[in-house]
Amino acid sequence: MPVTKNTLALATYVVLFLIILAAPLYFDVFWLNRFSKFLVYGMLGVAMALCWGYAGILNLGQGLFFGLGAYSIAMSMKLASPTSLAQGSDTPIPDFMLWNAEPGAPIDLCCITNGSFLWIPFKSQFFGIAMGVVLPTLVAFAIGSIIFRKRISGVFISIITLAVVLLVRLLVVEAQPFTNGFNGLTDLGYLTVFGHEFDPYYVSTYYLIAISLVVVLVLARILVQTRSGLILQAVRDDDRRARFLGFDVPAYQIFFFCVSAAIAGYAGMLYVLVAEFASPTFMDLAFSITMVVWAAVGGRNSLLGACIGAVLINMVEATVSETPQLIEAWKVIMGLAFVLAVLFLPRGIAGLVSRLGYMIVRKPQKMPAARADAVDAEPARAG
Amino acid sequence: MLDTIFIGLSVGSVLLLVALGLAITYGAMGVINMAHGEMVMLGAYTTVLASIHLGIGLLGAIPIAFMVTALVGYAIERLIVSRLYGRLLDTLLATWGVAILLQQAVRLSLGLAFFGITIAGLGTGLQNVRVPAYLSGVISIGGEQVSLYRAFIILVTILLTLLTWFIMYRTAIGAQVRAIMRNPDMAAACGIDVKRVNALTFAYGSGLAGVAGVMMSGFKTVFPDMGTPMVVDGFLVVVTGGVGSLMGTVLSAGLLGQINGLTASVSNDIIARAVIFAVVVTIIIWKPSGLFSYKGR
């Protein structure tokens, strides 16, 4: 059987899946909890690669979708927490709403603070779960419909998405009685699905996240190889030509923008499950750009590369964070790695590895050196 | 009413101060420099260091900060930005990496912290700069009490804007910069050393950010992360005003400043900032090329 790039990629996928799924055999629950956060970041890496690498849309506001997913599920979990049930009312009330309520306001979700009635449907955790994906997708659809139908491109998309995420962040902070402002939603209860409690330190919770990541990776991979995935890549490379060929370019862009947002929202939900809080910091500019860093270092054109990049970077970061002096040094290393990756490895570690791997297995036939260079030197599309 | 307008003017002048340098680098070179906020930060730290180690006050720190940040900007252009021409989004990302490095350089006392050496004035902590006595206090304009330092900032901003206008429109190098803005290839064909001019443009833009940093240090706390929100504000101003239009940047800074001042006077600062974001998003969607752009490129 001839060894191609696809079989190499397949082998990497299989190895990664085995490592992820076998991890509970070797680590205790404390480490599994940390590891599951890294897997969530890996999912964000996939969403980023899909949006940036395959669609050419540099979304600097991915944190918005992550945050929307996180807040949706966190609202449901907040209402399930014991403290919400012990506020002197028959129905659950988040404790911070009482602190923020006007004196004499009725202790009921309907009208305790402005807009608190919006919390009512979140009493159903299924609603919270659904919203965690539906809300980011709808918002992405709204934003995407406007910017892609108006044919806004390149850096303007980045600036718009950046401004939107900062705008929403400000509103979340400002709406203290509704969202608990800066403090975010803490002291959450457990998510309970069909009688099963997802305690963040249960192995089952780890498996939920690990399997979710596997499914997301496989689905995303299949999606980019479908016809619409190919058209999308054509749009990324030359949108004008795709338009002349008769394709409805914005439709493909909007679709993949929404898929990426849905993945990010789903990742936000899973994050809340293991981290047990939702906070406006999810919508910080730095977090959204950090996601781009993971994808850039791992390989923006590779779903797997961006995923592994995100997981590895966070694993190393968590390890060095034990010593305070190293934290600062780590940021230096990240900044440097990022600059160097952009300058010299536009396709990230994935590009490097796939080139090396290809050269090793193909050694006997001796690939011309010039062509091997051409594969990686192919300029990354900007704008 | 007059004081609201003055607050808006004051906010606008700070916005313009930061955006002016960006208007030049982004407008002339089409480079999104995410490290621009860090240039402001470096300017502010130069003021701190100058007063601690050299005993130089705020006014004296202005030329030093300009030189320091212009040199850093020159180095960044030569080492990184010049390798990424034509890859706009990659420049954005690479300069974000540079921004992190500059922040860490300040936090770690230029790396000396690893050897247990700390420099007074650097490090993770907060720093403050004392405004000289002749710039503090209030003056009265038209019966309104106005902070003298705020008025001073407005004055400096006007002077810098005029200087930039003069360089861009009345000097030989300015003509070259404008030629590159219109069409870099044609400019090169006419014998303009595009690389050199770009490096100088970038250095000048960074230098302006350094001066902005000096002014900021007089009324804001100085800390390593202070630049990040500024670069965002600066970009919003430049993009709203229109790429490559100095006049557009000035007007949009004034416009956004007034909107900010008015909204803040009826609600609060957070809402005012949110309104600014909303206005800018609407404007970019409605006119991606900005309010006051010209046809070109």
pLDDT tens-digit profile of A302-353?
899 999 999 998 988 888 887 777 777 888 888 888 888 888 888 888 888 8
Whether B288 sits inside 8 A of A156 (CB atoms) is yes
Please state whether A299 falls in left (phi above 0), alpha (psi between -120 and 50) or beta.
left
Distance from CA of A25 to the nearest CA of B (A): 38
Closest alpha carbon to B231 in B258, B259, B212, B256: B212
* pLDDT tier for residue A5 given thresholds of 50, 70 and 90: low
On whether any CB of chain B is under 8 Å from the CB of A283, the answer is no
What's the full length of chain B, in residues? 297
Q: Which of A160, A286, A346 sits opposite B281 (nearest CB)?
A: A160
Q: What is the mean pLDDT of residues B91-108?
A: 90
Whether A160 sits inside 8 A of B83 (CB atoms) is no
Is the sign of the CA dihedral A358, A363, A367, A371 positive or negative?
A: positive
- CB atoms near residue A366 (< 10 Å): 8
Dihedral in degrees, nearest 10, Cα atoms B198, B199, B204, B205: 70
Whether A380 sits inside 8 A of B90 (CB atoms) is yes
pLDDT of residue B44: 93
Instruction: For residue B127, tell me if it sits in a domain.
Output: no
- CB atoms near residue B44 (< 10 Å): 29
Q: What is the mean pLDDT of residues A272-285?
A: 92
CATH number where B254 lies = 1.10.3470
Instruction: For residue B107, tell me if it sits in a domain.
Output: yes
Q: Which residues of chain A make contact with B278, given a CB cutoff of 8 A?
A: 167
**Residues whose CB falls within 8 Å of the CB of residue A183, separated by 6 or more in sequence, listed in order:** A96, A279
Whether A382 sits inside 8 A of B90 (CB atoms) is yes
* pLDDT tier for residue A364 given thresholds of 50, 70 and 90: low
Reply yes or no on whether the pLDDT at A369 is more than 50.
no
Whether A152 sits inside 8 A of B284 (CB atoms) is yes
pLDDT of residue A136: 96
On whether any CB of chain B is under 8 Å from the CB of A344, the answer is no
Q: What is the mean pLDDT of residues A269-278?
A: 92
pLDDT of residue B297: 43
Q: Which two tokens stand for residue A312?
A: 């590895």
Closest alpha carbon to A264 in A220, A309, A222, A211: A220
Q: What is the mean pLDDT of residues B44-66?
A: 89
Q: Which two tokens stand for residue A174?
A: 């400002």
Q: How far apart are CA B229 and CA B225, in angstroms?
A: 9
Q: How far apart are CA A32 and CA A22, in angstroms?
A: 11
* pLDDT tier for residue B31 given thresholds of 50, 70 and 90: confident
What residues 141-200 of chain A have any CB closer than 8 A to a CB of chain B? 146-147, 150, 152, 154-156, 158-160, 162-164, 166-167, 170-171, 173-174
B211 touches B62 (CB < 8 A): yes
Reply yes or no on whether the pLDDT at A366 is more than 80.
no
On whether any CB of chain A is under 8 Å from the CB of B138, the answer is no
Q: Which residues of chain A make contact with B281, given a CB cutoff of 8 A?
A: 160, 163-164, 167
Whether B104 sits inside 8 A of A335 (CB atoms) is yes
Q: How far apart are CA A130 and CA A175, in angstroms?
A: 23
Whether B232 sits inside 8 A of A162 (CB atoms) is yes
Residue A193's SS3 state is strand
Q: How far apart are the two ends of chain B, measured CA to CA in Å? A: 42
Interface test with A, best of B25, B96, B117, B287 (most A CBs within 10 A): B96
Whether A331 sits inside 8 A of B84 (CB atoms) is no
Q: How far apart are CA B120 and CA B49, in angstroms?
A: 8
Q: B144-147 and B138-141: which strand pairing?
A: antiparallel
Q: Which residues of chain B make contact with A346, given a CB cutoff of 8 A?
A: 90
The fraction of chain B above a pLDDT of 90, given in percent, is 31
Q: Which residues of chain B make contact with A285, given a CB cutoff of 8 A?
A: 228, 232
Instruction: For residue B122, tell me if it sits in a domain.
Output: no
pLDDT of residue A3: 59
Reply yes or no on whether the pLDDT at B229 is more than 50.
yes
pLDDT of residue A381: 43
pLDDT of residue A96: 83
Q: How far apart are CA B27 and CA A115, in angstroms?
A: 44
On whether any CB of chain A is under 8 Å from the CB of B112, the answer is no
Q: Which residues of chain A make contact with B236, given a CB cutoff of 8 A?
A: 159, 163
Tokens 């202070």, residue? B226
Instruction: For residue B265, tell me if it sits in a domain.
Output: yes
For the segment B116-125, what is each residue's pLDDT rounded down to a tens digit? Answer: 777 777 777 7
b/e burial code for range A234-252 (CB count within 10 A of at least 16 → b)? bbbeebeebeeeebebbeb
Q: Which of A146, A167, A337 sits opposite B278 (nearest CB)?
A: A167
Tokens 């009482």, residue? A98
Residue A342's SS3 state is helix
pLDDT of residue A133: 95
Q: How far apart are CA A49 and CA A52, in angstroms?
A: 5
On whether any CB of chain B is under 8 Å from the CB of A325, the answer is yes
Whether A159 sits inside 8 A of B83 (CB atoms) is no
Reply yes or no on whether the pLDDT at A373 is more than 50.
no
* pLDDT tier for residue A357 given thresholds of 50, 70 and 90: confident
Interface test with B, best of A60, A151, A167 (most B CBs within 10 A): A167
What residues 23-82 of chain B have any CB closer than 8 A to a CB of chain A? 32, 80
Reply yes or no on whether the pLDDT at B73 is more than 90.
yes
Q: Which residues of chain A make contact with B106, given a CB cutoff of 8 A?
A: none
Distance from CA of B16 to the nearest CA of A (A): 18
Distance from CA of A277 to the nearest CA of B (A): 23
B252 touches B237 (CB < 8 A): yes
Distance from CA of B270 to the nearest CA of A (A): 6
* pLDDT tier for residue A204 given thresholds of 50, 70 and 90: confident
For the segment A17-52, what is each residue's pLDDT rounded down to a tens digit? Answer: 888 888 888 888 888 888 999 999 999 999 999 999
pTM of the entire predicted model: 0.88
On whether any CB of chain A is under 8 Å from the CB of B281, the answer is yes
Phi, psi of B151 (to 5 degrees): -65, -40
Whether A147 sits inside 8 A of B285 (CB atoms) is yes
pLDDT of residue A125: 86
Q: How far is CA A136 from CA A41, A52, A62, A154, in A?
A: 17, 17, 10, 22
Interface test with A, best of B281, B283, B291 (most A CBs within 10 A): B281
- Mean pLDDT of chain A, nearest integer: 85
Q: Which two tokens stand for residue B65?
A: 């900060």
Q: Which of B32, B98, B274 sits opposite A171 (nearest CB)?
A: B274
The fraction of chain A above a pLDDT of 90, given in percent, is 37
Q: Which residues of chain A make contact with B280, given a CB cutoff of 8 A?
A: 163
Report the amino acid identity of residue B292: F
Q: Which of B104, B239, B271 sits opposite A328 (nearest CB)?
A: B104
pLDDT of residue A367: 47
Phi, psi of A35 (to 5 degrees): -60, -35
Q: How far is CA A96 from CA A43, A84, A183, A186, in A?
A: 31, 9, 10, 10
What's the full length of chain A, in residues? 383
Element (H, E) at A353: helix A348-361
Q: Which residues of chain A make contact with B29, given a CB cutoff of 8 A?
A: none
pLDDT of residue A379: 44
Count interface pairs A-B at CB distance under 8 A.
119
Q: Which domain holds residue B52?
A: 2-114+140-286
Q: What is the 3-state secondary structure (H, E, C) of chain B?
A: CHHHHHHHHHHHHHHHHHHHHHHHHHHHHCCCCCCHHHHHHHHHHHHHHHHHHHCCCHHHHHHHHHHHHHHHHHHHHHHCHHHHCCCHHHHHHHHHHHHHHHHHHHHCHHHHHHHCCCCCCCCCCCECCCCCHHHCCEEEECCEEEEHHHHHHHHHHHHHHHHHHHHHHHCHHHHHHHHHHHCHHHHHHCCCCHHHHHHHHHHHHHHHHHHHHHHHHCCCCECCCCHHHHHHHHHHHHHHHCCCCHHHHHHHHHHHHHHHHHHHHHCCHHHHHHHHHHHHHHHHHHCCCCCCCCCCC
Question: What is the greatest pairwise CA distance in chain A?
Answer: 82
Which residue in chain A is spatially nearest to B92 when comparing CA positions? A155
Instruction: For residue B151, tell me if it sits in a domain.
Output: yes
* pLDDT tier for residue A378 given thresholds of 50, 70 and 90: very low
Q: How far apart are CA A296 and CA A302, in angstroms?
A: 10
Q: Which of B97, B271, B280 sits opposite A338 (nearest CB)?
A: B97
The fraction of chain B above a pLDDT of 70, given in percent, is 97
Q: How far apart are the two ends of chain A, measured CA to CA in Å? A: 39
Tell me how many domains chain B contains: 1
Looking at the predicted complex, does its ipTM rise above 0.90?
no
For the segment A138-154, what is each residue's pLDDT rounded down to a tens digit? Answer: 999 999 999 999 888 77
- A104 vs B11: which has the higher pLDDT: B11
Q: Which of A63-72, A175-184, B132-141, B195-204 has the lowest mean pLDDT?
A: B132-141
Q: Which of B228, B239, B270 sits opposite A159 (nearest CB)?
A: B239
B41 touches B106 (CB < 8 A): yes
Residue A362's SS3 state is coil
Closest alpha carbon to B217 in B230, B205, B234, B201: B230
Q: Which of B80, B88, B274 sits opposite A343 (nearest CB)?
A: B80
pLDDT of residue A377: 39
* pLDDT tier for residue B111 given thresholds of 50, 70 and 90: confident
- A212 vs B31: which has the higher pLDDT: A212
